[in-house]
Amino acid sequence: MGKTTEGPAAALWQVSRDMAGRWRTVENGFSAALLALIALLPLAEGAGRIFGIGNLIPGSILLVQHFTLVVAMAGGALAARDNRLLALSTAAFVPSRFKLPAQVFAAAVGVAICTCLAYGAWTFAMVERAAEDTVAFGLPVWVFILVMAPGFAAIAARMAWRASPSLPGKALALAGVLVPIALASWETLGELPILQYAVVALIAGALLGLPIFAVIGGLAAMLFWYEYTPVTAVPLAAYQLSGQPLLPAIPLFTLGGYILAEGGSSRRLVRVFSALVGWVPGGLAVTTALAFAFFTSFTGASGVTILSLGGLIMPVLAGARYTRRFSLGLMTASGSIGLLFPPSLAVILYAVYSRTPINELFLGGLLPGILLVGLVALWGVRHGRRAEQVRRRFDPVEARAAVAEAKWELLLPVVVIGGIFGGIVTLVEAAAVTVLYAFVIECIVHRDLPIRGRLPAVAAECATLVGGVLLILGVALGFTNYLIDAQIPDQALEWVQAHIESKYVFLLVLNALLLVVGCMMDIFSAILVVVPLIAPMGEAFGVDPVHLGIIFLANLELGYLTPPVGMNLFLASYRFDEPLTRIYRSVLPFLVILLGGVLLITYLPALTLALVR
């Protein structure tokens, strides 16, 4: 009897696992194909213009923007499937015996919010369906909007499924769908203290692991709803984000960075920097800072640099007798120091959203970026004088060989930046060129990345990260729209002007505020939420817009290292299998040094404006 019972159950379990595996492959392939399409369309557009052929694909830019929205939802579903949605790291501090109830509660709140957003997207799509607007080739606008409804529904279902290993726990998390249904039955919201309870639930959920997009999106939806504005306001804002012409540059630059990081570029670039500067005292530390800065400029402050280069560089530092504590701090701090260099996604997004010229922001960030990298490198030199027992001489033969091997990677910034500032390609086309260039280098020239094997998995991994980021951007824009409608920036400006008279005191308070924001929020959502508040303040105190942008980005870069919940701290803890407390201690000297650099950037505007003005 035992065999009869266990046989069908085991067979059913194996069938379900096989089906899940096949569906996973389909999802990954679909996301990779979307990214490939988003890269190919701008390439065709740019080629037609450069060679005088004309517009090869009419409406391609609009198609790319709308397909980016589809990537956001598909990537968000992948992130929910793999438990990779960006969230505060505070859930790591929950005691073990409370972790499971905390997960179920956070998932239930997330399910409730995603239900609201899915309903809003469906309603918005049905309204647009009546308008009969099209994007290109007869593709209706409402179809792209409708993608958000099943996308949010899939995220909700996956959050509930991952909340608990038991079916009752999953059911409790899924019961969150009943909350918006119950609230919809009350018409006089103003007579009920719903908003207070909702805010408390959101704060608790955020601390217990609720994804950031759900925190911001839930707060925006509740505030709009409480003001008798339909919940469609948040999906509407997410769709408006897809109308930003430069938005596709985010997934494309990220994909290019992923391809470089997963191929052999990391090894070749480390060899180059080691050959060029490895002979100086602390040369390995300088090499680490330069290599990390190079990769971060392409991958953004996403943690990809720490995860991909950490395993390569840690054994080298250990072999040179650097202490593990110093090595941990060096790589954790270096994981975001390239944030100000082109083609940084954070700089691009800030420029778009604050309406600051991108070329001026990149020029303004050049010297401050060099300063921050230099501070980390100099601290490495100081430590390396004691750590490195064997000094090696500069070897011109090795330097030439290393540069020759990595020549294609070293030329990439020249191609991208030259194309943008030379007016040859647009920013989105430059991002697509980056993808093509990285593909050719890694898959054809060096053959480090198999096209049929590893490349699709890399693209799916990229889509997972991009989906989590774009989800946050979409709902953050909805929250920002509420702040503007409620005149919060104007009220905040009046309060600041009434209580702060000195420009320098304002900058000091701004630094403190941004450090807190940086350790609590990712840089992309912070741009959308915080910039509308501080931009009018900076203007009122006479702070140059470019200078304000670099101050903002440098502070947010430092926020990645700020305990207790800076993102780089948790990534380093995960990558190197070290307790968080040890990571905190290792990064403290770098935090103090970089804080000094941020203060110099803040109070010496010439560092930012010398190349711009």
SS (H, E, C) 337-372: CCCCCCCCHHHHHHHHHHCCCHHHHHHHHHHHHHHH
For residue 211, list its beta bridge partners: 87
Q: Which residue has the higher pLDDT, 387 or 494?
A: 494
Give the model confidence (pLDDT) of 489-524 as tens digits: 888 888 888 888 889 999 999 999 988 888 777 787
**Residue 2 binned pLDDT confidence (cut-offs 50, 70, 90):** very low
pLDDT at residue 97 in the model = 87
Q: How far apart are CA 148 and CA 124, in angstroms?
A: 10
Question: Among candidates 308, 333, 341, which has minimal Cα distance to 383?
Answer: 333
Report how far Cα 513 is from the mean position of its chain's Cα atoms.
20
Asked whether the predicted pLDDT for residue 479 surpasses 50, the reply is: yes
Least confident among 28-42, 331-345, 388-402: 388-402
Q: In Å, how far are 259, 499, 551, 603 from 512, measured between CA atoms?
A: 36, 16, 12, 14
Asked whether the predicted pLDDT for residue 1 surpasses 50, the reply is: no
**Residue 147 binned pLDDT confidence (cut-offs 50, 70, 90):** very high
pLDDT at residue 303 in the model = 65
Residue carrying the six token digits 């702060």: 500
For residue 140, list its beta bridge partners: 134
**Residue 389 binned pLDDT confidence (cut-offs 50, 70, 90):** low
Report how far Cα 392 is from the mean position of its chain's Cα atoms.
39
Give the model confidence (pLDDT) of 41-88 as tens digits: 999 888 888 777 766 777 788 889 899 999 999 999 999 998 888 787
Asked whether the predicted pLDDT for residue 608 surpasses 50, the reply is: yes
Give the model confidence (pLDDT) of 240-258 as tens digits: 888 777 788 888 888 888 8
Give the model confidence (pLDDT) of 590-600 as tens digits: 999 999 999 99
pLDDT at residue 7 in the model = 65
pLDDT at residue 111 in the model = 95
Q: Which of 93-102, 150-159, 392-401, 524-533 has the highest mean pLDDT?
A: 150-159
For residue 345, list its beta bridge partners: none
- Residue 532 neighbours by CB distance under 10 Å: 18
Average pLDDT of the chain to the nearest whole number: 85
Q: Which residue has the higher pLDDT, 545 or 18?
A: 545
- Residue 175 neighbours by CB distance under 10 Å: 14
User: Residue 110 corresponds to which tokens in the numbers above?
Assistant: 């997330």
For residue 87, list its beta bridge partners: 211
Residues 101-124, mean pLDDT to the nearest whole number: 94
Residues 278-305, mean pLDDT to the nearest whole number: 79
DSSP state of 59: T
Amino acid at 219: L
pLDDT at residue 390 in the model = 60
Asked whether the predicted pLDDT for residue 191 surpasses 60, the reply is: no
Q: Which residue has the higher pLDDT, 185 or 241?
A: 241
Q: How far apart are CA 464 and CA 239, in angstroms?
A: 19
Residue carrying the six token digits 């719903």: 194
Asked whether the predicted pLDDT for residue 397 surpasses 80, the reply is: yes
Q: How far apart are CA 387 and CA 323, in angstroms?
A: 8
Q: Please give the model's pTM, rounded to 2 decimal places.
A: 0.84
3-state secondary structure of 335: coil
- Residue 129 neighbours by CB distance under 10 Å: 15
Amino acid at 393: R
**CB-based contact 209:105 (threshold 8 Å):** no
- Residue 193 neighbours by CB distance under 10 Å: 8
Q: How far apart are CA 157 and CA 179, in angstroms?
A: 15
pLDDT at residue 192 in the model = 54
Q: What is the dihedral of CA 32, 33, 38, 41, to 10 degrees?
A: 150
**CB-based contact 231:224 (threshold 8 Å):** yes
Angle between helices 265-277 and 283-299 (to 10 degrees): 140
Least confident among 113-127, 339-353, 439-453, 558-572: 558-572
Residue carrying the six token digits 């430059």: 430
pLDDT at residue 188 in the model = 47
pLDDT at residue 161 in the model = 93
Q: How far apart are CA 276 and CA 181, in angstroms?
A: 63
Helices (H), 132-211: 141-146, 148-162, 167-174, 178-183, 194-207
Give the model confidence (pLDDT) of 409-425 as tens digits: 889 888 888 888 788 88
Length of the chain in terms of residues written: 613
pLDDT at residue 276 in the model = 87
Q: How far apart are CA 320 and CA 467, in angstroms?
A: 39
**CB-based contact 565:89 (threshold 8 Å):** yes
pLDDT at residue 57 in the model = 76
Q: Which of 150-154, 231-235, 330-334 has the highest mean pLDDT?
A: 150-154
Give the model confidence (pLDDT) of 539-587 as tens digits: 999 999 999 999 999 998 888 888 776 778 877 887 788 887 888 899 9
Asked whether the predicted pLDDT for residue 164 surpasses 60, the reply is: yes
